[in-house]
């Protein structure tokens, strides 16, 4: 048990040193790389390791007769979480989410330190000592708090109320609800029931299982499946349509949406927000193909009211592409990202 | 002997007569139902030329249009008479208050039924008496609330009639027979409730007690049917059926009632009402606990709070699954409605909802950990609580991560796009399913620890049982998290289906682990008694927090469900042409919900106060409810 705790304590100490380096800027945030596609699990795994590490540190210190006060354990753990969120995770997390995470962490720490009477008494003891102020030092501290706390609260209030020159926060609806149907080149498409006419098997019938089996592998690299190369001269049916969609994509779309469909094209950073990243699981992977068909056809100008503030400069591609070309581009986007369009069956 | 048999016979006859009388309103209103079917014949008699056919917008069946089309309203005093105030907000307030009280008075009799039944079947006489007194206390609270529900219902109808006459005229035209049955069943509900309450003392012994218990079953059946009927109206407004595109009634009242969302709404509301009712009663007990001056009172209200919390949480656990089913049906009914709810305009409200759900589970767990403190021998679990906190909070953080992030343009630029590579993954359904299942499984684990807090298993296979239990929970966590990750690599329709094995895993933990734990704890060695009343005051604040979160969340979900119709009174059938056919800002909605919550709690405090007046008048009766040496409650242990 002691050996296990020692290992945990070493991990905890190493973690603290690394994070401290990141906070002061000596150690770059990507020293221990966050790997694309695995980041979400990696972050939770790292936090778990830290908790194990801190448990080990606490255990070892107690074993050496240096009991770390519960009050400071709580305060420092909260500070650790805030610093981790701010300096470890990149790209930076917007303040609104960090505020949510910070509040939850604070509640969690309260639940931990007050889970039983003994712990709660230990935790609040330093606070009670200051309030009771039985020694000169504590009395001084109490007066200091009496002065500092109102100033701090006043400062926060002033800061939140003072008019700021920065742009206001936008609560942008990323996926506005689509209409029930859309009219493109004179034909009406019902979004709930329409299908991509090129998602077909070799017999020319709509077949999502067939096309799903031919999309690229997800994860790092996004590798093509064996015998599923759209750029093979002999490719027929679905793969041929993917190739045609790819050609249209690279002629028209990649300037903004990028070679890898990750929203980082040549012109991407001229826009705010930058174009949609199709490789993110929160975009096309969540939507029906008909939704993409509608958005591509109508562009930013065709966004509904709830798409406020209509922050999209995508052209209405129905003015430049045929219906067939739009369907083929949509087909290519799903193939390239390895995602499957949403269906309801 | 003959006299007893005669009394039994008389009781059965009286019960049958009462059931018959209670069903009479339905029988009386049946002709109204039939009228729907007769009407076409009447139309036919007038001449074939007048018969117009229509196609059901949902069932796609053909029928003869016998109703008037939905009115095309215009903004003005005829269709939208008003005060110098937003009519929608007035209606919102009236509706929400009626729903709060309605939910409470539907849930509490179900608790009474369960607790009274526990009292009847418990062999321990002292315990049976305590259960009986508790059930009586519950129904006493709900009696005043029942009157308020009726009053608020009246206010709601008058608000509809005076501010939205065209819409209410259309709705009542479609639901004419249903509304009549509803009103008559309300009479039946009142009659049963009063007999049930006032007959408590008269029917407290032997066979008559069973008759009394049967009446609680009847009371709850009527109450549930009432709620189903009211649900059919909101189901129709969201997903209309039984009418054609113009909104003309096609003669089949069952189609109008049985819309696409009726059943999911029914299930969700039953569970929600029960959880809410449990929360309110637990808050009542917490308030009484905090105000108690004697150890006896503290012991009684501690126990009452525990029972109410346990009943509420028993229904809270399946609630997210019922909600998931409802959302699935919403998506299946109209994709754009689903996207508006969960990915579009109302998505941020869902993040707030997730936050509230998390608060409910965190409060429950916190209460259970605090409750370990009143058991001697439960100290062995205390040092592991921090790990449960960590697991719970990881699940919670994933569960509340928004898909659409609030950020400044500068933050958006720094992030390099609308999606964050870490948070973006937490923001979608696959991760959230994992998050909530982790939270629920951890809550189950807390319950298991609580149930065995002061006991040591004496069965010969206890070591094996403990190892099995540990492995079972470990595998459950692995399975839930693995499926959440796997969900990113498969088609969306399969991913939606993954929720089934995740839910099955969580429910397996609930049923198998509870059963196994009960078997292991049979004849277990007691390390010490449960010292009712010796619990921290923080636990009682957790109960109050639980109830407040329930109330707030109900208000929020009601608002979300209603506002998803956007600018429709009846979705795609009758357009809302009032000046208020827009969606409120998140901030306004949150303030309005908070006001409704505050009003409800202030008014229910009045109800509690009225209840305490009754208590003062009958001190002898009240004394019977106070536990003596605080025996252990069944169910909890």
Min distance A137 CA to chain B CA atoms (Å): 31
pLDDT over 70 (residue A343): yes
Which chain A positions have a beta carbon within 8 Å of B408's beta carbon? 94-95, 166-170
* Residue B26 resides in a domain: no
What does the angle CA B315 – CA B339 – CA A211 come to, to the nearest 5 degrees? Answer: 110
pLDDT in tens, A248-273: 999 999 999 999 998 889 998 888 77
How many CB pairs (< 8 A) connect A and B? Answer: 213
A67 and A188 share one domain: no
pLDDT digits (tens, 9 = 90+) for B190-229: 889 988 999 998 888 888 888 899 999 999 999 999 999 9
Please give the Cα distance from A205 to A208 (Å, whole number). Answer: 10
Together in a domain, A188 and A51: no
Q: How far is CA A157 from CA A162, B307, B418, in A?
A: 8, 43, 30
- What are the distances in angstroms from CA B261 to CA A304, B242, B325, B405? 26, 13, 10, 30
Structural domain includes residue B72: no
In a domain, B34, yes or no: no
B424 closest CB neighbour out of A44, A191, A280: A280
CB–CB of A104 and B400 under 8 A?
yes
Give the closest of B335, B348, B398 to A191, CB-based: B335
* pLDDT tens sequence across A98-152: 999 999 999 999 999 999 888 899 999 999 999 999 999 999 999 999 999 999 9
Domain total of chain B: 1
DSSP structure string for B280-315: HHHHHHHHHHHH--SHHHHHHHHHHHHHHHHHHHHH
A313 is written with which tokens?
Answer: 């400069």
Position A18 confidence tier, pLDDT thresholds 50, 70, 90: confident
Same domain, A55 and A195: no
Task: Check whether residue A100 and residue A140 sit in a common domain.
Answer: no
B444 confidence band (pLDDT: 50, 70, 90)? very high
Assigned domain for B399 exists: no
DSSP-derived secondary structure letter, A181: E
Looking at the domain assignment, is residue B568 inside a domain? yes
The answer on A224 and A238 residing in a single domain is yes
Which residue from B347, B417, B491 is facing A273, i.e. has the nearest CB? B417
Range of the domain at A143: 116-150
Are A61 and A93 in the same domain? yes
Residues of B in contact with A225 (CB under 8 A): none
ipTM of the complex: 0.82
Region B437-456: mean pLDDT is 93
* Interface residue B329 vs chain A (CB under 8 A): no
Q: Select the highest-mean-pLDDT range: A275-289, B73-87, B421-435.
A: B73-87
Rounded mean pLDDT, A173-191? 88
CB contacts, 8 Å: A51 with chain B? 387, 390
Encode pLDDT of B520-579 as tens digits.
999 899 888 889 999 999 999 999 999 999 999 999 999 999 999 989 999 999 999 999
Query: Three-class SS of residue B383?
Result: coil
Determine what percent of chain B is predicted with pLDDT higher than 70: 90
Residue B263 is classified by DSSP as H
Nearest to A39 among B397, B422, B583 (CB): B422
Mean pLDDT of A74-101: 91
**Do A177 and B339 count as a contact with CB atoms less than 8 A apart?**
yes
Chain A CB within 8 Å of residue B587 CB: no
Stretch 216-275 of chain B: residues touching chain A, C-beta under 8 Å: none
How does B476-510 read in b/e, with b if 16+ C-beta sit within 10 Å?
bbebbbebbeebbbbbbeebbebbeebbebbbbbb
Query: What is the reported pLDDT for B512?
Result: 94
Distance CA B305, CA A179 (A): 49
Residue A32, in any domain of the structure: yes
Please tell me the total count of domains within chain A: 3
The tokens for A113 are: 């330190």
Q: What pLDDT, on a 0 to 100 scale, did the predictor assign at position B637? A: 38
Does A288 touch chain B if contact means CB atoms closer than 8 Å?
A: yes
Joined tokens for residue A11: 């991990």
The CB-based long-range contact list for B56-60 (8 Å cut-off, 24+ gap) reads B56/B241, B56/B242, B56/B243, B56/B244, B56/B250, B56/B252, B56/B255, B57/B240, B57/B241, B57/B243, B57/B244, B57/B245, B57/B572, B57/B573, B58/B239, B58/B240, B58/B241, B58/B242, B58/B255, B58/B259, B58/B260, B59/B241, B59/B242, B59/B255
A89: pLDDT confidence band, cut at 50, 70 and 90? confident
Partner residue opposite B492 with nearest CB, options A48, A93, A340: A340
Among A281, A304, A311, most B C-beta atoms within 10 A, so best to mutate, is: A281
Rounded to whole angstroms, how far apart are CA atoms B549 and B83?
33
Establish if A206 belongs to a structural domain: yes
> For position B36, what pLDDT does the model report?
47
User: What's the rounded Cα separation, in Å, for the pair B33 and A125?
Assistant: 70
Is the Cβ pair A272, B493 closer than 8 Å? no
The verdict on A262 and A279 lying in the same domain is yes
Question: Mean pLDDT lowest for which of A200-214, B458-472, B484-498?
Answer: B484-498
Assess whether A211 and A187 both reside in one domain: yes
- Do residues A59 and A123 share a domain? no
From B370, B403, B418, residue closest to A273, measured CB to CB: B418
Asked whether the predicted pLDDT for residue B598 surpasses 70, the reply is yes
How many CB atoms neighbour CB A240 within 10 A?
Answer: 16
The pLDDT value recorded for residue B633 is 39
In this structure, what DSSP letter does residue B509 have? I
For chain A, give the mean pLDDT.
Answer: 88
- Per the structure, the complete domain to which residue B294 belongs is given by 87-375+530-625
What is the DSSP track for B13-53?
HHHHHHHHHHHHHHHHHHHHHHHHHHHHHHHHHH-GGG--E
- Within 141-180 of A, beta carbons closer than 8 Å to B belong to 166-180
Longest CA pairwise span in chain B (Å): 89
Q: Touching check for A218 and chain B: CB below 8 Å? A: yes
In a domain, A89, yes or no: yes
Residue B435 lies in a domain: no
Give tens-digit pLDDT for B271-326.
999 999 999 999 999 999 999 999 999 999 999 999 999 989 889 888 888 988 99
Same domain, yes or no, for A185 and A316? yes
Residue A127's pLDDT is: 92
Do A249 and A315 fall within a single domain?
A: yes
Min Cα–Cα distance to chain B from A299, Å: 17
* Mean pLDDT of the region B172-190: 91
Which of B341, B442, B491, B588 is best to mutate for the A interface (most A CBs within 10 A)? Answer: B491
In this prediction, residue B48 carries a pLDDT of 54
- Per-residue confidence band for B621, with pLDDT thresholds at 50, 70 and 90: very low
Q: Mean pLDDT across the stretch B388-392?
A: 95
Rounded CA-CA distance B110/B99 in Å is 17
Asked if residue A299 is part of any domain, the answer here is yes
Residues A200 and A323 in one domain: yes
Residue A267 in contact with partner chain B when CB distance is under 8 A: no
Among residues B265, B188, B135, B283, the alpha carbon closest in space to that of B608 is found at B283
pLDDT cut 70: percent of chain A above it: 96
Would residue B333 count as lying in a domain? yes
Q: Is pLDDT of A312 > 70?
A: yes
Q: Which residues contact B167 (CB under 8 A, 6 or more apart)?
A: B71, B73, B79, B160, B569, B574, B576
- How far is the alpha carbon of A140 from chain B, nearest alpha carbon, in Å? 31
Question: Residue B483 domain-assigned?
Answer: no
pLDDT value of residue B510: 92
Contact B63, B251 (CB under 8 A): yes
């Amino acid at each position: 048990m002691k050996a296990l705790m020692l290992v945990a304590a070493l991990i905890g100490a190493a973690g603290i040193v690394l994070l401290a380096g990141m906070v002061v800027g000596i150690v770059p945030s990507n020293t221990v790389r966050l790997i694309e596609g695995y980041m979400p699990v990696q972050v939770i795994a790292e936090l778990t390791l830290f908790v194990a590490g801190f448990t080990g540190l606490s255990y070892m210190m107690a074993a050496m007769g240096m009991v770390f006060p519960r009050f400071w354990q709580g305060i420092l753990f909260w500070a650790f979480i805030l610093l981790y969120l701010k300096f470890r995770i990149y790209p930076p997390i917007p303040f609104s989410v960090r505020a949510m995470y910070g509040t939850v962490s604070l509640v969690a720490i309260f639940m931990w330190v007050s889970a039983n009477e003994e712990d709660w008494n230990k935790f609040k003891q330093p606070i009670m000592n200051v309030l009771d102020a039985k020694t000169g030092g504590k009395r001084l501290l109490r007066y200091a708090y009496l002065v500092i706390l109102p100033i701090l609260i006043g400062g926060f209030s002033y800061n939140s109320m003072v008019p700021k020159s920065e742009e206001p926060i936008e609560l942008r609806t990323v996926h506005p609800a689509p209409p029930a149907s859309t009219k493109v080149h004179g034909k009406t498409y019902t979004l709930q029931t329409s299908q991509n006419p090129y998602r077909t098997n070799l017999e020319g019938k709509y077949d999502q299982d067939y096309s799903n089996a031919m999309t690229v592998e997800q994860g790092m690299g996004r590798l093509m499946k064996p015998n599923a190369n759209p750029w093979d001269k002999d490719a027929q049916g679905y793969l041929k349509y993917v190739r045609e969609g790819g050609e249209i994509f690279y002629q028209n779309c990649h300037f903004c949406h990028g070679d890898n469909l990750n929203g980082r094209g040549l012109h991407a950073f001229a826009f705010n927000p930058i174009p949609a990243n199709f490789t993110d699981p929160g975009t096309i992977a969540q939507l029906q193909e008909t939704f993409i068909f509608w958005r591509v056809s109508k562009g930013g100008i065709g966004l509904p009211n709830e798409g406020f503030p209509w922050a999209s400069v995508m052209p209405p591609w129905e003015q430049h592409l045929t219906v067939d070309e739009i369907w083929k581009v949509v087909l290519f986007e799903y193939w390239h990202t390895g995602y499957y369009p949403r269906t309801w069956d | 002997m003959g006299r007893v048999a005669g009394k039994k016979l008389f009781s059965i006859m009286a019960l049958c007569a009462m059931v018959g009388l209670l069903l009479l309103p339905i029988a009386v209103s049946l002709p109204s139902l039939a009228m729907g079917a007769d009407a076409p014949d009447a139309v036919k008699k007038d001449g074939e030329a007048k018969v117009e056919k229509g196609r059901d917008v949902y069932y796609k069946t053909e029928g003869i249009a016998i109703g008037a089309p939905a009115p095309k309203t215009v903004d003005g005093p005829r269709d939208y008479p008003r005060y110098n105030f937003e009519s929608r907000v007035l209606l919102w307030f009236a509706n929400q208050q009626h729903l709060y009280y309605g939910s409470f008075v539907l849930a509490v009799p179900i608790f009474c039924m369960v607790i009274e039944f526990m009292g009847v079947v418990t062999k321990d006489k002292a315990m049976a008496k305590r259960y009986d007194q508790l059930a009586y206390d519950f129904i006493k609270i709900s009696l005043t609330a029942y009157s308020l529900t009726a009053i608020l219902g009246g206010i709601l109808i008058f608000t509809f009639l005076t501010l939205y006459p065209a819409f209410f005229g259309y709705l009542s035209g479609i639901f004419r027979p249903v509304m009549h049955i509803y009103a008559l069943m309300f009479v039946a509900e009142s009659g049963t409730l009063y007999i049930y309450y006032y007959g408590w003392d008269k029917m407290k012994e032997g066979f008559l007690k069973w008759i009394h218990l049967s009446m609680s079953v009847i009371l709850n059946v009527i109450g549930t049917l009432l709620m189903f009927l009211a649900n059919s109206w909101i189901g129709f407004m969201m997903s209309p059926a039984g009418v054609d595109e113009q909104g003309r009634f096609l003669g089949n009242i069952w189609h109008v009632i049985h819309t696409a969302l009726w059943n999911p709404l029914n299930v969700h509301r039953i569970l929600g009402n029960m959880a809410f009712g449990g929360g309110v009663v637990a808050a009542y007990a917490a308030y009484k606990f905090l105000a108690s001056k004697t150890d006896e009172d503290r012991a009684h209200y501690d126990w009452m709070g525990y029972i109410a919390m346990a009943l509420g949480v028993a229904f809270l656990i399946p609630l997210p699954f019922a909600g998931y089913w409802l959302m699935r049906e919403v998506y299946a009914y109209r994709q754009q409605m689903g996207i508006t709810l969960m990915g579009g305009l109302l998505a941020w409200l869902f993040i707030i909802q997730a936050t509230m759900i998390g608060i409910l589970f965190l409060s429950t767990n916190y209460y259970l950990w605090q409750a370990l403190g009143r058991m001697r021998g439960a100290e062995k679990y205390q040092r592991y609580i921090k790990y449960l906190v960590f697991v719970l909070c990881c699940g919670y953080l994933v569960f509340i991560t928004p898909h659409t992030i609030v950020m400044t343009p500068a933050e958006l630029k720094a992030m390099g796009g609308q999606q964050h590579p870490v948070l973006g993954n937490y923001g979608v359904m696959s991760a959230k399913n994992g998050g909530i299942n982790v939270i629920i499984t951890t809550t189950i684990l807390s319950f298991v620890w609580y149930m065995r807090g002061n006991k040591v298993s004496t069965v010969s296979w206890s070591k094996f049982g403990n190892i099995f239990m540990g492995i079972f929970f470990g595998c459950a966590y692995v399975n839930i998290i693995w499926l959440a990750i796997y969900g990113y690599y498969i088609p969306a329709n399969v991913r939606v289906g993954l929720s089934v094995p995740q839910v099955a895993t969580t429910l397996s933990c609930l049923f198998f682990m509870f059963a196994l734990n009960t078997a292991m704890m049979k004849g277990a060695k007691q390390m010490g008694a449960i010292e009712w009343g010796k619990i921290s005051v923080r636990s009682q604040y957790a109960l109050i927090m639980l109830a407040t979160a329930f109330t707030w969340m109900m208000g929020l979900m009601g608002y979300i469900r209603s506002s998803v119709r956007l600018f429709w009174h009846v979705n795609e059938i009758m357009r809302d042409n009032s000046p208020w056919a827009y969606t409120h800002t998140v901030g306004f909605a949150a303030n309005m919900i908070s006001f409704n919550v505050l009003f409800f709690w202030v008014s229910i405090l009045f109800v509690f106060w009225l209840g305490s007046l009754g208590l003062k008048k009958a001190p002898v009766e009240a004394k019977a409810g106070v536990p003596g040496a605080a025996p252990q409650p069944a169910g909890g242990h």
